């Protein structure tokens, strides 16, 4: 129970698991301004269309939408502005090396609060082909059917 209190999920990127094979996960902090934190605490965030790039040894997230805080006036920032992610230099260099390989990319998987600080879970991902997507959908359907049968059987 103490673990659940420490981590509060704000946004989840289910589409990433459908479109990519996630090979490694990293936790990164986000550099936010003023009212963006309040907006995040209210759950006003979307990472469905977001992607991550490494530029000049720094990691940035593009397309992450944080809605403007209703009670914030002139202090609100652009909802789709580019935000810097905070990672260790060793991690950034490792990720840059992996991304240089063909087919790898970085995608944000979820945004959450951990011990009062906003964090993003980043996934080192490799793109799925169409047949891989169909295969994963078929597996989900089979699992759902099995759970349904199990539930009916145990009633």
pLDDT digits (tens, 9 = 90+) for 35-59: 888 888 888 888 888 888 888 888 8
Each residue's pLDDT tens digit, 87-105: 899 988 888 888 888 878 8
pTM of the complete model: 0.73
Residue 123 contacts residue 16 (beta carbons within 8 Å): yes
Give me the pLDDT at residue 1, please. Answer: 45
Cα–Cα distance between 2 and 70 in angstroms, integer?
A: 31
Cα–Cα dist 86/83, whole Å: 10
Distance (Å, whole) CA 50 – CA 75: 23
Residue 32 Cα distances to 24, 61, 77, 85, 144, angstroms = 25, 12, 10, 9, 40
Q: Which residues contact 101 (CB under 8 A, 6 or more apart)?
A: none
Rounded Cα distance, 110 and 50, in Å:
11
Distance CA 108, CA 123 (A): 6
Q: Is the pLDDT of residue 133 over 80?
A: no
């Amino acid at each position: 129970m103490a673990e659940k209190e420490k981590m509060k999920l704000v946004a989840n990127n289910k589409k990433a698991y459908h479109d990519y094979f996630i090979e490694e996960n990293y936790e990164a902090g986000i550099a936010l301004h003023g009212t963006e934190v309040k907006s995040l605490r209210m759950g006003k965030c979307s990472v469905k269309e977001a992607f991550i790039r490494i530029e000049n040894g720094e990691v940035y997230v593009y397309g992450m939408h944080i809605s403007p805080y209703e009670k914030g006036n002139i202090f609100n920032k652009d909802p789709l502005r580019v935000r810097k992610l905070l990672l260790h230099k060793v991690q950034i260099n490792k990720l840059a090396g992996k991304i240089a390989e063909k087919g790898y990319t970085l995608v944000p998987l979820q945004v959450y609060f951990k011990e009062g600080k906003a964090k993003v879970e980043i996934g080192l991902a490799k793109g799925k082909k169409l047949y891989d997507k169909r295969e994963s959908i078929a597996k989900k359907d089979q699992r759902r059917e099995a759970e349904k049968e199990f539930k009916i059987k145990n009633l």
